[in-house]
Chains A and B, each alone.
Chain A
């Protein structure tokens, strides 16, 4: 339940929808060409903002991964138990 709440929370916030639009625009821009980044413009700023843009995506993927790992872990435990009980039979 906690996991689901955490997953839904950010998506309800309208700010994220705008940020997702930027991701999609950036994605398609990439297939045209990459501009040069010159030293007098600090690329550190772009990296900072970029993390905010992808934050929801990274967070969601991470939650799904944890969720999937826990399911897989539980299933393997169940199967191992079954294997053991089969051996005793």
Chain B
């Protein structure tokens, strides 16, 4: 018997009906008595089974152990484990779009079973086996012919960032890092181009919606309409309108500085094939359970590793290349790959209440193996990071490291130094090895054919 209160996750405090806790490495959810009626209805109506069978809702099994000790507890459920928890500001456009469409699809199905989502937080969606999935079983309530309680949240968490990314700039998703409960609609309305006033869905769900939030903030005006009977056909109309608006959103911007990286001259065909062979050899030798591919670009190596059944988190700072990576892995139905937009020089911090509600990127590690191909020169030269800082960073995030050293006379490094003074006297292969040996044991070194670049396999040292 345990006191579940001790193990509650920092992010699980908003919902009085249930909470999530971590116990002996497993994720559990306690359903409280206040949610008993809705929980039983969810199970008995068949909605739970339908959503789980479609992989729309994470499976939760009722368990006897650990037992409930909090007085308001009703049931303990054991949740399926998600390999890596990611957050909406880290998703590319299509990931957020798929998550939004899943939320609407779940709402549509729930309505057929006379239930509705009481919240539509993007944080309730995670990526599981390559697809978005709802993780919060406590989000359902009986439909009582009232307007959609989660409408505002859906617009702020999904529609607003998608509209900004689609009609303004793809990088604006990062606003979700600042606004924990989604981007305020009045801000979005100001930022969107004037042409969006002629898009009927955006006119309603963003511009007029923002205006009405301001207009009706005076509660005196509200009292007269409070007992309104919201018809099911209107509810369906609202969901259908949001769905068609989101389905129509397509990215126009398809190229960036990094999206042509592989097409630019960096390796000969033989050299590139050799690089692939080296990575395959190192990965096969170690057989890690999970891998972080840092600076993965369009994810050529990530996809190669994922195909071996190893779970890969594939990171890049450029939302366009991550978008391409996600679309490719989605088309291949790749289950072991999670592409994310993360800038390693400024990774996702801890945020939310007491800076603990959402965990920083680095706290979600360490990983068995980190891969840093054609990355070190960007960290050391573009970002002035001393080699010791870089080695220490890798030491903290992984057990094994595959890292490619790019020497100063490489074309890419020459490009970086073209318009700036070369102050990087320490940036040599000798010094790189000397510093990395402080933190790692170098297990293997292979020079790429037709190239000056070298790939290392390293193992973390016990310091």
Contacts and interface: CB of A to CB of B under 8 A. Distances in A.
A4 interface: no
A44 B211 CA distance: 12
Nearest to B216: A46
Given A58-B234, A62-B237, A34 B215 contact: no
Contact of B197 (A26, A29, A30): A30
B190 interface: yes
B240 A47 contact: no
Contacts of B225: 49, 52
A26 B222 CA distance: 16
B397 interface: no
B213 interface: yes
A42 B217 contact: yes
Contact of B238 (A31, A44, A58): A58
B4 to A, nearest CB: 30
B212 interface: yes
Contact of A44 (B152, B197, B221): B152
Interface centre among A42, A55, A65 (most CB of B within 10 A): A55
A54 B233 contact: no
Contacts of B197: 30-31
Contacts of B241: 58, 61-62
A52 B237 CA distance: 12
A45 B214 CA distance: 10
B237 A34 contact: no
Count class of interface residues, chain B: 35 or more
Given A51-B238, A58-B241, A62-B233, A34 B147 contact: no
Contacts of B233: 6, 59, 62-63
Interface stretch (B201-209, B253-261, B341-349, B361-369): B201-209
Given A43-B217, A51-B238, A54-B238, A36 B186 contact: yes
Contacts of A46: 152, 209, 212-217
B399 to A, nearest CB: 44
B214 A37 contact: yes
Interface centre among A10, A36, A43, A60 (most CB of B within 10 A): A43
A29 B233 CA distance: 28
Contacts of B222: 45, 49
Contacts of A37: 184-186, 210, 213-214, 217
A79 interface: no
Main secondary structure of the interface of A (DSSP, over half): helix
Contact of B208 (A50, A58, A62): A50
B141 to A, nearest CB: 15
Contact of B230 (A31, A44, A51): A51
Interface in B179-208: 184-186, 189-190, 197, 203-204, 207-208
Contacts of B155: 47
A45 B217 CA distance: 7
Interface string B210-252: 1111111101011001001011011011101100000000000
Nearest to B219: A45
B186 A47 contact: no
Contacts of B214: 34-37, 43, 46
Contacts of A55: 147, 230-231, 234, 237-238
Given A43-B185, A51-B151, A62 B240 contact: yes
Contacts of A56: 234
A88 interface: no
Contact of A29 (B147, B152, B211): B211
Given A51-B148, A51-B238, A59 B215 contact: no
A56 B204 CA distance: 13
A23 B147 CA distance: 17
A6 B189 CA distance: 34
A60 B238 CA distance: 10
Nearest to A62: B237
Contact of A60 (B147, B215, B221, B237): B237
Nearest to A31: B197
14 contacts: A26-B211, A27-B203, A30-B211, A34-B210, A37-B184, A47-B212, A50-B208, A52-B230, A54-B204, A55-B237, A58-B234, A59-B233, A61-B240, A62-B236
Interface of A: 6, 10, 23, 26-27, 29-31, 34-37, 41-63, 65
Given A37-B185, A55-B237, A61-B240, 18 more contacts: A30-B189, A31-B197, A34-B207, A45-B219, A45-B222, A46-B213, A46-B215, A47-B151, A47-B209, A48-B151, A48-B152, A51-B147, A51-B148, A52-B225, A56-B234, A59-B231, A59-B233, A59-B234
